[in-house]
Every structure is written in C-alpha cells, then in structure tokens.
Structure 1
Amino acid sequence: MTLPPGQRAVDGFPRFGTHLHHPPPAVPANPVIEIGGALTEAITLSVTDLAKLPRKELGADFHCVAGWSATGLLWEGIAFETLYRTRVEPLLEPDASISHIVFEGLDGHRSIVLLEDALADDVLIADRLDGKPLDSDHGAPVRLVSPGQYGFVSTKHLCRIELHTSEPPDPDRWSPIAAHRRARVWQEERHRYLPGRVVRPVYRALIGPIRALSARGSRTRPR
C-alpha cells in the first residue's frame, strides 16, 4: 500500500472535525441541502431526493492533514459532478463563470474548493460508508468526500453549497495553521505558507490531544 507523502496508516477511522469536544450536531428530521450563490434562483434539495440521483461506489482512503490515513474505506453516494451538471448548472446566472464552491456543514465548518477540484471524478456527496448509513461521528446525514485532498476539505454534515465567481473571503487566512487553498495530498499541500514536510512534526504532535477531545465529544450524544 502506497500512501501520500508524510502519511501513516491507522487502525479504524478516528473522529476528527470542528468543535471536537462537543457532540456531533443533531440530524434534522427532514435534512436538506440549500444551494445558492450565483444562481438565477436558490434551490433546496432534500437528502431523500438527492439519494435518487445516479449513485456511485468509491473505494478510497481518507487522509487527515495531521498525518494519519484511514485506509480501505468504501464510500457510496452521488458524484458531485452529477449534482452540479443536472441540478446546478442549468440555474447558473447568465455568463456566470464559477470558480469556487463553498461547502458548509451543520457544525459550522466551511471548506472553499476550486471548481476544478470539486468536479474531479472521485468527489462524492456520500451518505454511506462501508455498507452502512453514515453515523454522526463521520458526517451524517451526508458529507463531502474528496479523497485527493486532505480531510478538512471533506465537510461533514453537509447542509449548504454556495457557487462563487471569485474566491470567497477566508476567515482563517492569518491563522498560524492556515490551511492550504487546494490541500492536495500527493503534493503535500498542508499549510498555506510553509512546506508540508516542515509542518509534519507539529501536526503529528496534535493528533493525541485532538483524538482525546474527539472521544470526549463522542460520549455526549445529541438528543
């Protein structure tokens, strides 16, 4: 098994994400994905309707920017390109040239993705993992899965998609661990300003504390 530079395989699939010391957000009774931005009209797509689009299975590893990789995963869902071509593209504003997609989750996490990266053939809106519906730790009811990018791009608990004609403002731009804009795993694009090899030891040192916070959050479930 060949992993991207600086990655190490781990047992299982740890829970990582935003606000790790809190429980995952509750799944709405009737979950939907709002789609807006540079469209002639915003649309709301229920997760039930989303699941009726042509489906795809994808065997792909998950690579965390901290340096661990969960291997041998089987995802199932809708190719993002299918959603974009069938439901989004027909509603684009006249002459709109989309450059970026923003994916937002119920936990408040947002990822900003170049259109060309979002339309890669291995990018899914997934609702199943290893033959089972996603659980709350891993993004229920649906999540983005972009295996060619570090895990922070793969927004969990997906609830909103925005279309932009230029790069949106990034509130983490000046963070000391500012994420790389493209986050491609095989180019080791971990940090926005520093080489991936330089930040590896720092990120790996955070795995233990973050995993402990995650475990504490997992023990308290939303009602």
Structure 2
Amino acid sequence: MTLPPGQHPIDGFPRFGGHLSRPAPAVPTDPVIEIRGVVTEAFDVPLGTLATLPRRELIADFHCVAGWSATDLRWEGVSFETVYRTLIEPALPPETPVTHVVFRGLDGWRSVVSIEDALADDVLIAERLDGRPLDGDHGAPARLVSPSQYGYVSTKHLCRIEVHSAEPKGTHASVLRQLPLRLLSAHPRARVWREERHRYLPPWSVRRVYRATIAPIAYLSGRGGRGARNPPRPR
C-alpha cells in the first residue's frame, strides 16, 4: 500500500472534525442543495434530482490532514463535474468566469475549492458509503468527497454550493479556529500528494503538531457521534 507522504493507515473510519462534540445536524425532510453565487438566478436542487444523473462508484482512501488515512472506502453518488456541467454551468451568465467553488454544510463547515480541483475526475457528491446511505457521522444526507485533497475539503452534510468569479475572502471553516492553534493555517489547495498541509510552513514542520491534535479531536468528535470515542490508531 502506498500512501501520500506523512500519512499512516488506520482501521475503520472514525468521526473526526471541527464539529467536535456537537451531534450531527438534523436532516431536513426534503433536503436540497442551494445553488448560489454568480448564477443568473439562485435555485435549489432537490437531493432526489441527483438520483436522475449518471451514477458513479469510487473506491478511494480518505486522508486526514492530521496524518491518518482510512483506506479503500467505497463511495457512491454523482461526480461533481456532472452536477456542474448539467445543472450549474447552464445557469451562468454568458462568458462568466468561475474560479472557485464554496461548499457549505448544515453543520456550518465551509470549504473553498479552486474550480480546477473541484472538476477533477475523482470529486464526488456522495450519498452512500460502503453500500449504505450516509449516516450522521459521515455526512448525511450528502457530502463532498475529494480524495486527492485532505479531508477538511470534503464538506459533510452538504446544503449549499456557491460559484465565484474570484477567490472568496477567508478559506476553510477549520477546526483550528475552534482550538488554541490559530497558527496552523489550512492550505487553500490541500493536495495530499504534494503534502499541502499548511498555508505557509513546510509540511515536515507541522506533522507532529497536527498529529498531537488527533486524540483530543477524536475524543470530542466521538462524544457527539455514534461510534467509539477512541482516537484513530495505526494498523
């Protein structure tokens, strides 16, 4: 097994992230994904509409910026490129450039992704994981999955997609803003094979610091989820 630099495989796929001990947000009775930004007119996409688009299955690893990797996860959904080309691009004013996409979740999480990265072949809006509908721990009712980027890009509980003609102010709604670790600034592209963990510092200098956050974040995340509270452990 070959993993990106600085990553270590673990067993399972724990709940982990900036929600800390908060439980997963309630799923609306009729969930939609709001489409906003530079489109001609804002509109909503009922989640059921995704089922009418070509389906995609993707087996991929999930790489957390803290240094652990959950391997061989099987996601099912619709490629973001299909959603963009079919639903969003036709709603843009003529000759309107799109440079960035913002993905927002029901839990308040926000990730900013360049259009180049968002349209990559392995980026998915997923509704199923390992043959089952997503549960609250992993992003119900739908989430972004971008395996070539660190996990903080893959917004869970997806409820809004915004398209922009310039990079929005601010980047990811990072867990680091909720902890006394503000010097750890998230990298805007977060490409795992380039080890883009930090906006300014070289990756080797932040590996240990990020790794030190695993146990407390995992414990707090577990308190709000359905799974065990133990931190991710290497195989």
Q: Tell me the TM-score normalised to structure 1 length.
A: 0.96
Of 184, 187, 192, 2:191 maps to 184
Per-residue deviation at 1:213? 0.3
SS at match of 1:61: strand
The answer for the alignment partner of 1:97 in structure 2 is 97
The answer for the alignment partner of 2:232 in structure 1 is none
Asked if 2 retains the 8 angstrom alpha-carbon contact of 1:79 and 1:125, the reply is: yes
Q: What do residues 123-177 of structure 1 show as CA deviations (whole Å, max 9, x unaligned)?
A: 0000000000001000000000000000000000000000000000006699411
Asked if 2 retains the 8 angstrom alpha-carbon contact of 1:61 and 1:72, the reply is: yes
What is the rounded CA distance, in whole Å, between the counterparts of 1:171 and 1:143 in structure 2?
Answer: 18
What is the rounded CA distance, in whole Å, between the counterparts of 1:87 and 1:181 in structure 2?
Answer: 26
Per-residue deviation at 1:10? 0.6
The answer for the alignment partner of 2:168 in structure 1 is 168
Asked if 1 retains the 8 angstrom alpha-carbon contact of 2:63 and 2:151, the reply is: yes
Report 1:206-221 matches (<5 A): 206-218=213-225
The answer for the alignment partner of 1:147 in structure 2 is 147
Asked if 2 retains the 8 angstrom alpha-carbon contact of 1:33 and 1:45, the reply is: yes
Specify the code of the residue in structure 1 equivalent to 2:132. Answer: K
Q: Tell me the TM-score normalised to structure 2 length.
A: 0.91
Identity %: 66
The answer for the alignment partner of 1:130 in structure 2 is 130
What is the rounded CA distance, in whole Å, between the counterparts of 2:134 and 2:34 in structure 1?
Answer: 20
Runs of 4+ in 1 over 4 A off after TM superposition: 171-174
The answer for the alignment partner of 1:45 in structure 2 is 45
SS at match of 1:71: strand
Asked if 2 retains the 8 angstrom alpha-carbon contact of 1:18 and 1:107, the reply is: no
What is the rounded CA distance, in whole Å, between the counterparts of 1:19 and 1:143 in structure 2?
Answer: 15
Inter-CA distance 132–219: structure 2 relative to 1 (3 Å threshold)? closer
Per-residue deviation at 1:94? 2.2
Of 199, 203, 207, 2:210 maps to 203
Q: What do residues 63-92 of structure 1 show as CA deviations (whole Å, max 9, x unaligned)?
A: 000000000100000000000001111111
SS at match of 1:200: helix
Specify the code of the residue in structure 2 equivalent to 1:56. Answer: R
Specify the code of the residue in structure 2 equivalent to 1:177. Answer: L
Asked if 2 retains the 8 angstrom alpha-carbon contact of 1:172 and 1:178, the reply is: no
Specify the code of the residue in structure 1 equivalent to 2:217. Answer: I
The answer for the alignment partner of 1:111 in structure 2 is 111
SS at match of 2:111: strand
Asked if 2 retains the 8 angstrom alpha-carbon contact of 1:106 and 1:157, the reply is: yes
Q: What are structure 2's unaligned runs of at least 5 residues?
A: 228-235
Asked if 1 retains the 8 angstrom alpha-carbon contact of 2:17 and 2:217, the reply is: no
SS at match of 1:60: strand
SS at match of 2:35: strand
What is the rounded CA distance, in whole Å, between the counterparts of 1:164 and 1:78 in structure 2?
Answer: 22
SS at match of 1:72: strand
What is the rounded CA distance, in whole Å, between the counterparts of 2:171 and 2:83 in structure 1?
Answer: 27
Specify the code of the residue in structure 1 equivalent to 2:207. Answer: R
The answer for the alignment partner of 1:88 in structure 2 is 88
What is the rounded CA distance, in whole Å, between the counterparts of 1:51 and 1:45 in structure 2?
Answer: 11
Specify the code of the residue in structure 2 equivalent to 1:199. Answer: V
What is the rounded CA distance, in whole Å, between the counterparts of 1:98 and 1:219 in structure 2?
Answer: 38
Q: What are structure 1's unaligned runs of at least 5 residues?
A: none
How many residue pairs get aligned? The number is: 220
The answer for the alignment partner of 2:2 in structure 1 is 2
Asked if 1 retains the 8 angstrom alpha-carbon contact of 2:123 and 2:144, the reply is: yes
